[in-house]
């Protein structure tokens, strides 16, 4: 089954937090960067999930199709 992977999100959060701690990012920039990290990660996870669902649906349809043709 599909498994949610948080390791990429944690790495990105750590990088953003590091730059903020070094004084490179202001608090406002830090918050907007963190929001972008969450949004981009959620988008990638959605794409992975849609690909997984598409593949599973295609397999089910092809199996059903084979079953229908075999019954004729």
pLDDT tens-digit map of 11-53 = 777 777 777 777 776 777 777 777 777 777 777 777 777 777 7
How high is the pLDDT of residue 1?
A: 41
| Model confidence at 4: pLDDT above 60 | no
Cα separation, 38 vs 40, in Å, equals: 6
Structure tokens at 36: 């972008």
The pTM for the full model equals 0.39
- Hey, what's the torsion of the CAs at 54, 55, 57, 61, to 10 degrees? 130
Contact call for residues 25 and 16 (beta carbons, < 8 A): yes
Cα separation, 49 vs 19, in Å, equals: 31
């Amino acid at each position: 089954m599909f498994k949610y992977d948080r390791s990429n999100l944690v790495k990105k959060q750590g990088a953003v937090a590091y730059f903020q701690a070094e004084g490179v990012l202001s608090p406002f920039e830090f918050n907007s960067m963190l929001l972008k990290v969450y949004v981009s990660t959620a988008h990638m996870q959605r794409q992975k999930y849609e690909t997984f669902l598409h593949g599973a649906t295609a397999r089910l349809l092809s199996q059903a199709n084979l079953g229908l043709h075999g019954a004729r």
